[in-house]
Amino acid sequence: MRLLLKRFLAIAGLTLLEALRQPILLLLTTTCALFILLLPVLLMHTMGESDKLVQDSALASHFIGGLLLGGYAASAALGRELKRGTLATVLSKPVDRELFFIAKFAGVVGVLALFSIATGIATLLAARMAQDAYSVEFSSIGPPLAAIFLAYIVAGLLNYYRQRPFVSTAFGLLVGLLAVAFGVAVATTGIPWPVLPASLLVALATLVLAGVALALITRLELVPTLAVCTVVLLAGLMSDYLLGRIAGTNALAAFAYHLLPNWQHFWVADGLMGDGKIPWVYVRQVAGYSIFYLLGVLSLGMLSFRNVEPKT
């Protein structure tokens, strides 16, 4: 058991490290975080609803960015192994296919967790700034913006003087310095904590799509996998309208309705209107839905992965 755990952690760690060295992860995380932080400044005509507009826009940015990253990271994590032929070398050693598959997903979960931490912090800080309409406090927006630029500057200096890899170093500094900026904000200003459950639900949605992408990449190339993930995303967003109304009378529609992930479960921004709050009981229920959906999708992925012939 100890040996299996050691192999699992090694594969998951290598998957996470390889993903952190991809420029798309750094660029997407920086773009989403920076855009979210600037929303209180960019949205000028709010009609007295600045907090709602900023919260909805921030959560939407986290949602779309996370889904794109989840689909790409999961596809690339296993797709590169299949395309480059390194999978044959790994599986020639005493490594079970199921262990390898689940460890790859664990590495992707680590990537998405770091992304969600960065964008979640930005969302909470932006929501705090939006509470003061027509004014933006420097104490709120200054530290996180400085954290983003400082992360790039320090990573560049470490790359030049210490030959540290720029992308992974900048990403680690970005998440760490944003956490420091968040700690400063917690100590000096109030944080709209009701936004936190909504942000966690969005993070769960990214994990579900990553599981779908990892299962698909066992049979498809990278581009078709991302295309199918896009279809799953759009169909899941419209499943209530397209299938939910006739699911009670049509067996095929009912099957498709329950097969597709219903992204509406993860998008509850309207529950934050006014003094609204999202119950933690609902978050636990959606987390249970996510776990069971992932168990099904990853099980299908492992069955498909068993019959994959690795290239040499």
Question: For 213-257, what is the HEC assignment?
Answer: HHHHCCCCCHHHHHHHHHHHHHHHHCHHHHHHCCCCCCHHHHHHH
Tell me the average pLDDT of the chain. 84
State the Cα torsion 51-56-60-62 to the nearest 10°: 40
DSSP the chain: -HHHHHHHHHHHHHHHHHHHT-HHHHHHHHHHHHHHHHHHHH----TT-HHHHHHHHHHHHHHHHHHHHHHHHHHHHHHHHHHHSHHHHHHTSS--HHHHHHHHHHHHHHHHHHHHHHHHHHHHHHHHHHTSTT---HHHHHHHHHHHHHHHHHHHHHHHHH---HHHHHHHHHHHHHHHHHHHHHHHS---TTHHHHHHHHHHHHHHHHHHHHHHTTTS-HHHHHHHHHHHHHHHHTHIIIIITTTTT-HHHHHHHHHS--GGGT--GGGGSTT----HHHHHHHHHHHHHHHHHHHHHHHHHHHT-----
CA 189 to CA 39: how far, in whole Å? 19
CB atoms under 10 Å from CB of 231, counted, come to 10
| pLDDT value at 304 more than 80 | yes
158: pLDDT confidence band, cut at 50, 70 and 90? very high
List the structure tokens of 190. 């109030």
126: pLDDT confidence band, cut at 50, 70 and 90? confident
Q: What is the pLDDT at residue 203?
A: 93
138: pLDDT confidence band, cut at 50, 70 and 90? low
Lowest mean per-residue pLDDT among 45-49, 72-76, 107-111: 45-49
82 in Cβ contact with 311 (< 8 Å): yes
CB atoms under 10 Å from CB of 262, counted, come to 18
CA 127 to CA 182: how far, in whole Å? 12
59 in Cβ contact with 269 (< 8 Å): yes
| pLDDT value at 136 more than 90 | no
List the structure tokens of 34. 């920076």
Q: What is the pLDDT at residue 120?
A: 93
What are the boundaries of each domain within the chain? 2-306
pLDDT average, residue stretch 49-56: 76
Q: What percent of the chain has pLDDT above 90?
A: 35
pTM for the whole thing?
Answer: 0.90
pLDDT per position as a tens digit, 58-100? 988 998 898 888 888 888 887 776 666 566 566 656 667 788 8
One-letter amino acid identity for 251? Answer: A
The segment with the largest mean pLDDT, out of 211-220, 225-234, 266-275, 289-298, is: 289-298
Higher-pLDDT residue of 73, 149:
149
**Could you identify the residue written with the tokens 């909504």?**
198
| pLDDT value at 30 more than 80 | yes
The set of long-range contacts for 190-193, using a CB threshold of 8 Å and a minimum separation of 24, is: 190/128, 191/124, 191/125, 191/128, 192/51, 192/124, 192/127, 192/128, 192/131, 193/124
pLDDT average, residue stretch 287-291: 95
pLDDT average, residue stretch 42-49: 61
49: pLDDT confidence band, cut at 50, 70 and 90? low
Q: What percent of the chain has pLDDT above 70?
A: 87
Higher-pLDDT residue of 274, 241:
241
Q: What is the pLDDT at residue 234?
A: 86
pLDDT average, residue stretch 184-194: 80
Q: What is the pLDDT at residue 142?
A: 82
Q: What is the pLDDT at residue 133?
A: 59
pLDDT average, residue stretch 226-230: 86
